[in-house]
């Protein structure tokens, strides 16, 4: 039987007791199983969270990057569109894990990677969440300070930047600590407000917009390698959400809402949010006469005076929306690594790590180069992980999971349906490791060039190759080394208890 010592609100069957999930209440639930009867969220909340959560300079900057790589507006938009479509299609089934398992996606991944193999997903989520949270604080803090310089005449130096980053960090950390109910309510405010301000930005920069202007030489020497690089970077947007979709879909009742509505709401929210912001980033970048090393600094410098206040609001509200998504996810996944800690504690720890990463990236390394390198490298690790989870869901588990067995790690139990080889399912772990290794070796950035980066004449194969290797390897493994189908007797009994609870 599951131990109850890890959570005061956990019942004897491992499920959490009734709790309040609303604005202003501190969420007490971490990665425990949430019974179907206590799931009060709706698919439209998924759309709101992932649509509004993208309305931030940290996401807009990914529409600016292709322009700095030497593409014109059309090339940048088509590359972003293609990458976002591929990424969104790939992660779509990941939204269905949460409603089936009652927990987040990295804990759910134990069904495919093993009880301890879930740590791979937790590690990836932490890296994605910390990196993107740092970018959210960096871009919003830069916008805050740059706009203040034009409005109030304050200098842009290390001190003012540090203060700007601190302001953005404080608001993000505060909301993330409150948890799910507050995050959802906050996104319902961010989406319409920042959405209107982005439309105003199109009006502000329309007079200087030039769709055919080219700001730089092709980063990789020719159009197609540079275009493909931009598309691969765009894939990273949806891919970064794959581990965190369950943070919100786990609160949706399967008895009340269909799989189709969950997938549709998630995909529309992720794709539209990312594409709208990519369009805005590319549009404004093509309207700025001369680009420097900071998108927000260029944006503030070139904006008409009347648009400076909207930029300030976008920095505060948009940075809040994006940063909270990442810090909330990072707190849950650190808890998956250290189950004895509470979500509030792990969120504070990851918040400190994200802020430290921010200052390191801004004041020690070149921020633009760091973003590019980070995205490509993480894509190489995340691609095969997502592919294996999707194939495991569709082809191996066929959408059927034992929520009780997924939670056995919290009691340090070395048993259960998903234990496998010392807690690792090598059928998934080995293909993932091989695919990830290829991704690292095939990556080509200004900070790092892998020995296999020239396999296709400079065209980046890191994401596609790593994902394909992971997917094919996993299908071959489960074909020639089938997983046992019988549920261990003790675990089967616990599974029945959990089902009866619902």
Residue 217: CB atoms within 10 Å: 10
Q: 367 falls in which pLDDT band (50, 70, 90)?
A: low
Chain Cα centroid distance, residue 131: 10
User: What's the pLDDT score for residue 293?
Assistant: 76
The 10s digit of each residue's pLDDT in 284-309 is 999 998 888 789 889 999 999 999 99
Q: What is the DSSP string of 201-252?
A: HHHHHGGG--TT---S--TTSSHHHHHHHHHHHHHHHHHHHGGGTHHHHTTB
- In degrees to the nearest 10, what's the CA dihedral of 306, 312, 317, 321? 110
Q: 447 falls in which pLDDT band (50, 70, 90)?
A: low
196 touches 52 (CB < 8 A): no
**pLDDT-above-70 percentage for the chain:** 89
Domain at 36-364, CATH homologous superfamily: Hydantoin permease (1.10.4160.10)
The tokens for 190 are 């961010």
CA nearest to 439, candidates 453, 424, 419, 418: 453
The 10s digit of each residue's pLDDT in 123-178 is 888 888 877 888 888 888 889 999 999 999 999 888 898 899 889 989 999 999 99
User: What's the pLDDT score for residue 362?
Assistant: 67
For the cut 70, the answer to whether the pLDDT of residue 496 exceeds it is no
Lowest-confidence pick of 3-17, 86-100, 212-226, 453-467? 3-17
Query: Any idea how long the chain is?
Result: 502
Q: 361 falls in which pLDDT band (50, 70, 90)?
A: low
Burial class (CB in 10 A: 0-12, 13-18, 19+), 502: middle
User: What's the pLDDT score for residue 455?
Assistant: 82
Alpha helices in 364-407 (DSSP H): 367-391, 403-406
Contacts of 62 (CB under 8 A, 6+ apart): 80, 233, 234, 237, 274, 277, 278, 281
* 10 or 338, which is more confident: 338
> Angle CA(349)–CA(137)–CA(90) in degrees, nearest 5?
85
The 10s digit of each residue's pLDDT in 419-440 is 999 999 999 999 999 999 999 8
What gap in Å lies between CA 81 and CA 89, rounded to an integer?
A: 12
């Amino acid at each position: 039987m599951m131990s109850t010592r890890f959570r005061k609100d956990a019942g004897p069957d491992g499920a959490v007791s009734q709790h309040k999930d609303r604005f202003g209440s501190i969420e007490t639930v971490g990665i425990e199983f949430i019974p179907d009867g206590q799931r009060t969220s709706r698919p439209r909340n998924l759309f709101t969270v992932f649509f509004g959560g993208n309305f931030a300079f940290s996401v807009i900057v990914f529409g600016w990057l292709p322009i700095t790589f030497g593409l014109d507006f059309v090339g940048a938009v088509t590359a972003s569109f293609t990458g976002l479509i591929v990424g969104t299609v790939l992660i779509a089934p990941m939204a269905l894990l949460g409603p089936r398992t009652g927990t987040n996606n990295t804990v759910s991944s134990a069904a495919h990677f093993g009880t301890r193999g879930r740590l791979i997903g937790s590690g990836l989520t932490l890296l994605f969440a910390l990196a993107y949270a740092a970018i959210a604080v960096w871009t919003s803090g830069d916008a805050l300070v740059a706009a203040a310089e034009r409005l109030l005449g304050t200098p842009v130096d290390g001190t003012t930047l540090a203060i700007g980053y601190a302001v953005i960090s404080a608001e993000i950390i505060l909301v993330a600590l409150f948890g799910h109910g507050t995050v959802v309510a906050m996104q319902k405010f961010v989406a319409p407000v920042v959405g209107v301000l982005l439309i105003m930005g199109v009006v502000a920069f329309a007079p200087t917009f030039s769709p055919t202007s080219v700001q730089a030489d092709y980063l990789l020497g020719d159009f197609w390698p540079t275009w493909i690089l931009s598309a691969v970077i765009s894939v990273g947007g949806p891919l970064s959400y794959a581990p965190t979709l369950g943070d919100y879909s786990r609160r949706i009742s399967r008895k009340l809402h269909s799989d189709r509505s969950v997938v549709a709401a998630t995909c529309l929210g992720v794709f539209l949010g990312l594409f709208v912001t990519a369009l805005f980033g590319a549009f404004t970048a093509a309207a700025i006469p001369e680009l420097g090393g900071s998108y927000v600094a260029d944006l503030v410098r070139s904006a008409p005076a009347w648009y400076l206040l909207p930029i300030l609001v976008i920095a505060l509200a948009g940075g809040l929306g994006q940063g909270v998504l990442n810090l909330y996810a990072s707190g849950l996944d650190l808890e998956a690594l250290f189950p004895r800690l509470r979500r509030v504690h792990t969120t504070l720890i990851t918040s400190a790590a994200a802020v430290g990463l921010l200052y390191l990236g801004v004041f020690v390394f070149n921020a633009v180069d760091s973003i590019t390198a980070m995205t490509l490298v993480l894509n190489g690790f995340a691609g095969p992980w997502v592919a294996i989870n999707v194939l495991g869901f569709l082809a191996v588990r066929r959408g059927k999971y034992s929520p009780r067995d997924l939670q056995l790690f919290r009691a340090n139990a070395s048993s259960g349906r998903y234990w496998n080889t010392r807690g690792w399912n090598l059928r998934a772990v080995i293909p993932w490791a091989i695919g990830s290794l290829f991704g690292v070796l095939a990556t080509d950035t200004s900070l790092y060039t892998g020995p296999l980066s020239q396999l296709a004449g400079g065209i980046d194969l890191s994401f596609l190759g790593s994902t394909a290797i992971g997917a094919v390897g996993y299908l071959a493994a489960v074909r020639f080394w089938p997983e046992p189908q019988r549920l261990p007797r003790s675990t089967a009994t616990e599974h029945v208890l959990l089902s009866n609870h619902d």
